[in-house]
Structure 1
């Protein structure tokens, strides 16, 4: 794999750390800012809002800019957002800083996925994309625990200062290692948005909203479940979060390899497996050994489909791969919010801390339904018109679904 993927992974590590570390530091930040825990939750929500808003707007604003330049610009904005977070004097200023830090998230991953795919041949796109996202999953194993401990031992502001330094290292790595990208030509807002007229693009978004909300409905309440139901101490529960991150990393790597062979079958397999694994918590939650295995398996199955869905959107929105890929990141954050909200509803209704896993199983099956519908539409299109030049076909072949030789054809040759 090209060494440039390492630069993208370093950036993903920094972005993943700043996104999730606030959850571990929330009590300390709330105390320092003299606000309640519920009010401090805005630091998480405003980051997510920044992702949702920034992904489409910044991608559209930079559609005529070289992709490498856009990556560097997004990392610059990321550094600024985290430095502002580190020095924020008031609650409102920290809310604003977190919003700024979230703005480049979706655009970076969206364009980064396109660049990663362009660095390799088409039959290795899934693995290339997964290598970038490994940085995001490793953040949950190393970055978040270390950042949380640093914030608790010294001061939470040091954590965001450290994340800014990671961003600076990523900026230097991208500047040196990522090849120069050709400047986009013949692009327009109408052309970028035209891809969103295709039903397959919206079906891909639906798979993300429901399929990945399944994971977040469980993950949002994993720590109280492990402490209050499974009987782990708070410290041991924190260690199990690292086990979950290890599963995420393994799942992303495996999913990347399988996505190159058959992206749709990979989606079907892991969404089905996720529903089964989440249902298993009914039987494993009270056993300290079995619940640990179960947590690991949710990490594996919950994130193995990410390379497939990214590759899918690159094919289905090939007229606007950067915008389509960035919009997927916005959709992930919608899934995050939806999963947490629905999981909280069943807990508030008195169904207990295991109940979010039931919600997650149902959501995974809904996501699977949309994936199956998308695959059926592929088969119908292929049966009616054949594979040659059809828009929106990658049902079983990673090489289909893109007009080779077009300006946005991805993975056909090394980056220009």
Structure 2
């Protein structure tokens, strides 16, 4: 594998770490910027909302440019967003940082994967794509707990500086290592738009949004839930997030192995587990070991449903750029709804466990969205057998 592929993976690691790390720094950021913890939690929603709205628009715009040039532009834009975050002295400035970062990250994903698969032979393209996306999983295992530890040891601003510097280093390497891209080809937007008339595709999108919304409803507020209600020391949060990340990686490996054949079954089991575990966690939040075990289970069954979600979308539609880009937008819309409305519930004095109850509700809705398709899926499996 070309060294550039690993650099792209490292870049995605840095970007995903930035996306998630605010969840582990909510008390520190809220204190520094003089806002409530739920208001600080909205920064997670704002980043995701930027991906939803700005990402697809910027992706279409960048089709006019060579892929390498677009890649470098996006990496520099993301670095600038992190520098703004590092020096932010007000909530509005931090919002600007999150908006720019979300837009840049969303467009970067598609361009990076396209460049990676274009640098290898056809029989290695799947491996190249998986290596690039491995940065997401590594961010949950290494980046998030590392950023949380840096916050407690040196302050949250250092995490933003480190991400900015790491992204700039990757940008320099990309400038000299990635081959020059061919001139861009015309994109048939009309043809891609016609695929969006498929009602089954929108049903799949809906389920994906509810799955991720349920997961992030709880995950976004893990830090205050455990420090304010479960009464654990803030210094223990990096350990919790590391365990959550390891569970996510393990779950992803397992789901990835069976997603092609059992996509619907995986989502049914995963959503049922999410709903049950979140309810149990809310009811037993003062039992620290039990609550932490529930958080780890959420990591094991939540995000790892992603391969099953992608498989379902590809089966009901195609693997076109617009379909995948919109799927990513819907997923991040789920993050927005989950984290935003959970913050609203906390601000309305429904308590720190309200994000868990709301997450359970979204999981149940996701399960209901699958019911019309379960019998059809059963018939398909019988025919394949």
Deviation at 1:200, TM superposition (A): 2.7
Matched, 1:166 2:166: yes
> Which structure 1 segments of 5+ residues have no match?
384-394, 398-416
Range 248-257 or range 204-213, more displaced? 248-257
Q: Which residue of 1 aligns with 2:327?
A: 328
CA contact (8 A) 1:247 1:299 kept: yes
Distance 1:88 1:55 in 2: 23
Deviation at 1:300, TM superposition (A): 0.7
CA contact (8 A) 1:81 1:98 kept: yes
Deviation at 1:142, TM superposition (A): 2.5
> Taking structure 1 as reference, are residues 171 and 314 closer, same or farther at Cα in structure 2, changes over 3 Å only?
farther
Q: Which residue of 2 aligns with 1:242?
A: 242
More helix by percentage? 2
**TM-score with structure 2 length normalisation?**
0.80
Distance 1:197 1:377 in 2: 20
Q: Which residue of 1 aligns with 2:339?
A: 340
CA contact (8 A) 1:251 1:301 kept: yes
> Taking structure 1 as reference, are residues 88 and 187 closer, same or farther at Cα in structure 2, changes over 3 Å only?
same
Q: Which residue of 2 aligns with 1:56?
A: 56
> Taking structure 1 as reference, are residues 42 and 339 closer, same or farther at Cα in structure 2, changes over 3 Å only?
closer
Distance 2:4 2:268 in 1: 31
> Which structure 2 segments of 5+ residues have no match?
none
CA contact (8 A) 1:128 1:256 kept: no
CA contact (8 A) 1:114 1:325 kept: no
Deviation per CA, 1:360-387, whole angstroms, max 9, x where unpaired? 233223223334445666789x79xxxx
Deviation at 1:164, TM superposition (A): 1.4
CA contact (8 A) 1:227 1:233 kept: yes
Matched, 1:80 2:80: yes
Q: Which residue of 2 aligns with 1:386?
A: none
Deviation per CA, 1:37-80, whole angstroms, max 9, x where unpaired? 56655644442332222221012112355555544432232122
Distance 1:38 1:354 in 2: 13
> Taking structure 1 as reference, are residues 376 and 293 closer, same or farther at Cα in structure 2, changes over 3 Å only?
same
Query: What are the within-5 Å matches in structure 2 for residues 1-80 of structure 1?
Result: 6-30=6-30, 32-33=32-33, 40=40, 43-63=43-63, 65=65, 67=67, 69-80=69-80
Distance 2:40 2:229 in 1: 26
RMSD of Structure 2 on Structure 1 (CA):
3.9
Q: Which residue of 2 aligns with 1:365?
A: 364
CA contact (8 A) 1:109 1:326 kept: no
**TM-score with structure 1 length normalisation?**
0.75
